Amino acid sequence: MSKDAEGAGFRPVVGIDLGTTNSSVAYIREGTPYVIPSPEGDVLLPSCVLIDTQDRVIIGKHARDGLVAMPDRSVAAIKRSMGSTAPVTLAGKKFLPEEISALILKELRSYLIPIFGEEDIEAVITVPAYFSDAQRRATKRAGELAGFIVERIINEPTAAALAYGLNHSQGHKNILVYDLGGGTFDVSVVTVDQGVLEVRSSNGNRQLGGEDFDWRLVDWMAERVQSQFGVDPRDNLRARALLKDLAEHIKWTLSSENTATVESPVLLVDNGTPIMLSTEITRKEFVQLIQPWLNETMALVSDVLSQANLTPQDIHDILMVGGSTRIPQVQSMISEYFQQTVHSEIDPDLAVALGAAVEAGLKSGALSESGLVVTDVAPFSMGIAVAEPLSAGRWGPGFFSPIISRNTTIPCTRTTTVTTVDNGQTEVEVEVFQGEDRMVANNFALGSFRLTGIPPAMAGEEPIQVTFRYNLNGILEASAQIISTKKTQKIVVHDGLERQSAASFQASQARLESLWAHGPEVTEQEDALDAFDTMEDEFGGEGDMLAGVVPAGNQSDAANDLHQEAEITLADLAPYLSHRSPKISGKAKLLVKNLEAAANQGNLAALQDALDEATDLLFEWEASF
Q: Write out pLDDT tens, residues 444-469.
A: 888 888 888 889 988 888 899 999 98
pLDDT at residue 521, as a whole number: 36
With cut-offs at 50, 70 and 90, classify the pLDDT of residue 536: very low
Backbone dihedral angles phi then psi of residue 394, each to the nearest 5 degrees: -115, 140
Q: Is the pLDDT of residue 523 over 90?
A: no
DSSP summary character for residue 526: G
C-alpha dihedral, 327 to 330 to 332 to 336, nearest 10°: 180
Integer Cα distance of 336 and 351 in angstroms:
23
Integer Cα distance of 332 and 320 in angstroms:
12
- H-helix or E-strand spanning residue 8: helix 3-8
With cut-offs at 50, 70 and 90, classify the pLDDT of residue 27: very high
**Nearest Cα to 353, choosing from 42, 27, 122, 17?**
17
Integer Cα distance of 491 and 321 in angstroms:
37
> CATH for 378-497?
2.60.34.10
* Length of the chain measured in residues: 625
3-state class (DSSP) for residue 561: helix
Does residue 165 contact residue 197 with C-beta atoms inside 8 Å? yes
Backbone dihedral angles phi then psi of residue 276, each to the nearest 5 degrees: -115, 170
With cut-offs at 50, 70 and 90, classify the pLDDT of residue 516: low
Q: What's the mean pLDDT when you consider all of the chain?
A: 81
Higher pLDDT, 537 or 295: 295
Of 201-210, 476-485, 517-526, which gets the smallest average pLDDT? Answer: 517-526
514 Cβ partners below 8 Å, 6+ apart? 521, 522, 525
**Nearest Cα to 63, choosing from 79, 80, 77?**
77
Q: Is the pLDDT of residue 411 over 60?
A: yes
pLDDT at residue 608, as a whole number: 72
Q: Is the pLDDT of residue 587 over 70?
A: yes
**Nearest Cα to 81, choosing from 35, 23, 33, 139?**
139
Domain-wise residue ranges, the chain: 378-497
Which residues are identified as catalytic?
17, 79, 156, 179
With cut-offs at 50, 70 and 90, classify the pLDDT of residue 524: very low
The CA-atom distances, in angstroms, between 493 and each of 409, 470, 571, 618 are: 18, 9, 15, 14
**Residues 540-558: b if buried by 16+ CB within 10 A, e if exposed:** eebbbbbbbbbeeeeeeee
Backbone dihedral angles phi then psi of residue 466, each to the nearest 5 degrees: -110, 125
pLDDT at residue 331, as a whole number: 92
pLDDT at residue 520, as a whole number: 36
The Cα diameter of the chain in Å comes to: 82
Cis peptide upstream of residue 411 (ω within 30 degrees of 0): yes
Q: What share of the chain has pLDDT > 70, as a percent?
A: 85
Per-residue pLDDT, averaged over 269-275, amounts to 83
